[in-house]
Chain A
Amino acid sequence: MKILLMGHPNVGKSVFFNRLTGAKVLESNYPGTTVDFTRGWMRLEGEEVELIDVPGTFSLEPKDRAEEVAVKMLAEHKDSVIVCVLDASKIERGLYLALEIIERGYPALVALNMWDAAEDKNITIDVEKLERILGVPVVPTTAISGEGVKELVSRIHEAAPVRIEKIIETAGGVRDAGGDERATVR
């Protein structure tokens, strides 16, 4: 099993990566590009698993070389668990990428990182409800202080692919471009 850390640029993926991995870290360029990424290893339930710090991307429709690499890396690691690192103070933006990853059938977890910054901004997130709607583990974290990182690691095994219809149903339907409300997709 491999674990991919994915999220927007500057949401703390690398801080997460440094917290989870030890000294065995390899930094290399993605073949044929100047975009670099980092690989490391961590112990998970007595097993050594590979952790990849994927270049930051805003969505899975790439707009630049780094985003292209992120999308390619995701496609190349079909058997991976994806940790979606979100900025807890700008959850909507991060959810777009998280939903794209879930839609593609990857087992995922959501780390609501920079939880302390969200608290400072007086933003309250109902984590339990968010977890119920998304159907994937959601853990508030502050990677820089290490808060929530252990809990996130302990819940990696709970990550499983989710049917998008289930999310739509729990969230209360979805409205398409034509303005039609529906509880299922197409």
Chain B
Amino acid sequence: MQEVTNVPLSVDERWDLIDKISKQTVEFGARKHTLKDAIAELTVKPLTGIPVAIAVIYGFWSFFCEFAGP
């Protein structure tokens, strides 16, 4: 196999090259919003996340009360 000796690129040059390569080869389309994404968003926003957290804790509490007694 033929040997190749390259002069290493600097960090800036390498990132610039990556930028140029990805601009020509990668296309980001509109992201499909799945149910998983919707749930993830609901749980990280304080306004909806806190009620979701309370609902989950209540759900666990009532589940264990039902089967193991209060």
A interface residues (Cβ-Cβ under 8 A, vs B): 91-92, 95-96, 99-100, 102-105, 107, 120-127, 129-130, 133-134, 160-165, 167-168, 171-177, 185-186
Contact = CB atoms under 8 A, between A and B. Distances in A.
Interface residues of B, number: 31
B20 to A, nearest CB: 5
B22 to A, nearest CB: 5
Interface of B: 1-10, 12-22, 24-32, 34
Q: Which 6 A-B pairs have the closest CB atoms?
A: A122-B29, A161-B4, A177-B12, A164-B6, A124-B27, A130-B25
A57 to B, nearest CB: 15
29 contacts: A91-B22, A91-B26, A99-B9, A100-B14, A103-B9, A105-B3, A105-B4, A105-B5, A107-B1, A120-B32, A120-B34, A121-B28, A121-B31, A123-B27, A123-B29, A126-B25, A126-B27, A133-B21, A133-B24, A161-B4, A174-B16, A174-B17, A174-B20, A175-B13, A176-B12, A177-B10, A185-B6, A185-B7, A185-B13
